[in-house]
Structure 1
Amino acid sequence: MTILLSDPRVAAVPVLDLGEPLVPLDAALSPTRQLVRRALADRLEVAHDLLPAGIGLLVVEGHRPVAVQHEIVARYGAQVRAAHPGVSDAEAHHLTSRFVSPVAVAPHVAGAAVDLTLVDACGDELDLGTAIDATPEESDGRCYFAADGIGADARAHRALMARVLGDVGLVNYPTEWWHWSFGDRYWALTTGAPHALYGPVDVPVAA
């Protein structure tokens, strides 16, 4: 059964923040130099090197300010209510959190998550089945990592991504094939760690 970020078990995970700074990713991984916690940056570099020649990782988003997360939750929550008129507040919250994390447990806000894909040697994105950030409504559920209805190439690319990122300790949020995290509350719950390593953060870039 898929564990959603709204699950009370996620919020119940204690946080003992290591105090690691946010650091910009290398431009080879993220041309926009997205910010993540230092240990996550190190793991992404190792995963990049584990890929076959001619394939690389492309990180399109890392740390997300709290205010931005609030805006995303509100915007998608409105889409959910439009698509499911008449649902209760509790069900709307459940449906929203399939795809957008509640702020208190949001991995991006902790600097502990990335949205990424695979690219070829020319930097062109490979087929992963949907665009990054395709909602369940837009993609007919194909945004789920294990979804049916995607082609063989997309399935193989997702499996490759899972292998190299899993090998360095990252976990996937199963409703979003592109979302991987390390050290947040969701990571701790799914790996059995006694506590999360990172909580919400808004700090300057490390020198």
Structure 2
Amino acid sequence: MDICHKNLEDKFFSYTDLIAVPIEENGEAMVMIDKTNGVRTFCLDPDMRSFTGSDIFVRDSVLKKLELAQSEIEMIWQGASLEVVYGYRHIDIQTGLFVNAKSDILKRNPKCSEETLNEQAHIFIAVPEVAGHPTGGAVDVRIVTKNGAFVDMGTAAHDFSKASYVFSPLISKETWQNRQLLRASMVKAGFAPYDGEWWHFSYGDREWAAYYRRNKAVYGQIKFCL
């Protein structure tokens, strides 16, 4: 692994960091993101359709913060829209993805300890008990211009390569600036970034609590379906 990306990974919150954050679930409602608030949606995960159809759901406060972020985006890219491609993820899907990630690592390194295995897999697929998407507090987003094109972020959303790290040196200066503008807009709206994925932001979960040094998270993992 090159030293630059290793240094970036060392700054990500680990599973050990996040599991230490207590949760006091506030019971906030799950709501559907619809077009009336200016935020677009496009469900990238067909597996979620058996739980919530083609709609995307988040906690109520998350939706309000997405609307704030949309206002910021419009000031930077006139006529552009924030497009949410993932919100709530059912815990069963999260568990399956994590098990597969661990299996892939174990094939490459059969002597890997369980602790190391969890931490390595967590970089790309969060350990289910600390994952943000199953809380309804995390979103994956991209920006669509008024002409229907995606603002260049260097990779597609859900391209789980090191080039997707927010501060990766593998991208152009223009792409780097676009990522910083998206990140700044989401942070201004109250989200915490995950710098291992330029598209991922959260509010209320353990990642958010750790990033802003809160005493506790306010969203825990839930089982939600229509």
- Give TM-score scaled by structure 2 length: 0.82
Q: Which amino acid aligns with 1:78?
A: S
1:5 and 1:101 in contact (8 A); partners too: no
Q: Is 1:50 equivalent to 2:61 in the alignment? A: no
Aligned equivalents of 2:187, 2:59: Cα separation in 1:
18
The one of 25, 47, 53 equivalent to 1:17 is 25
Task: Kindly state the Cα deviation for residue 158 of structure 1 after the two structures are TM-superposed.
Answer: 0.4
Whether 1:110 aligns to 2:135 is: yes
Pairing partner for 1:182 from 195, 199, 203: 203
Q: What pairs with 1:164-203 in structure 2 (closer than 5 Å)?
A: 164-203=185-224
Q: What's the offset of the Cα at 1:13? A: 1.3
In structure 1, give the amino acid aligned to 2:143. L
Structure 2 CA distance for partners of 1:70 and 1:204, relative to 1, 3 Å: closer
Cα deviation 1:50-91 (Å, max 9, x = unaligned): 112132211100001110001110122223234445433332
Offset at 1:184?
0.4
CA contact 2:88–2:139 (8 Å) conserved in 1: yes
Candidates 73, 77, 91, aligned match of 2:98:
73
**RMSD of the alignment, in Å?**
1.7
How far the C-alpha of 1:125 sits from its partner, in A, is 1.6
Q: Aligned-pair distance for 1:112?
A: 0.5
Shift of 1:190: 1.3
2-structure distance, mates of 1:123, 1:43: 23
2:34 to 17, 26, 34: 26
Q: 2:90·2:224 contact (CA, 8 Å) conserved in 1?
A: no
Measured in 2, the distance between the counterparts of 1:71 and 1:24 equals 24
- Cα shift at 1:199: 0.5
User: SS of the counterpart of 2:197?
Assistant: coil
Q: 1:4 aligns with which of 1, 9, 13?
A: 13
Which residue number corresponds to residue 157 of structure 2?
132
Normalization by structure 1: what TM-score?
0.89
Distance 2:110 2:143 in 1: 37
Task: Assess, with a 3 A threshold, how the Cα gap between structure 1 residues 72 and 2 changes in structure 2: closer, same or farther.
Answer: same
Tell me, what secondary structure is at the counterpart of 2:81? strand
Q: Are the equivalent residues in 1 in contact too, given 2:135–2:222 (CA < 8 A)? A: yes
**Which segments of structure 1 move beyond 6 Å, counting only runs of 4 or more?**
none
CA distance in 2: counterparts of 1:97 and 1:197, whole angstroms: 21
Unaligned runs of 5+ in 1: none
* Counterpart secondary structure, 1:14: coil
Measured after TM superposition, the shift of residue 145 of structure 1 is: 1.0
Which of 86, 107, 113 is matched with 1:88 structurally?
Answer: 113
The structure where helix makes up a greater share of residues is 2
Q: Which amino acid aligns with 1:96?
A: A
Structure 2: which 5+ runs fail to align?
1-9, 44-54
Whether the 8 Å contact between 2:194 and 2:201 is mirrored in structure 1 is: yes
- Check 1:88–1:11 CA distance in 2 against 1; reply closer, same or farther (3 A cut): closer
Deviation at 1:38, TM superposition (A): 0.4
Provide the residue aligned with 1:148 in structure 2.
169
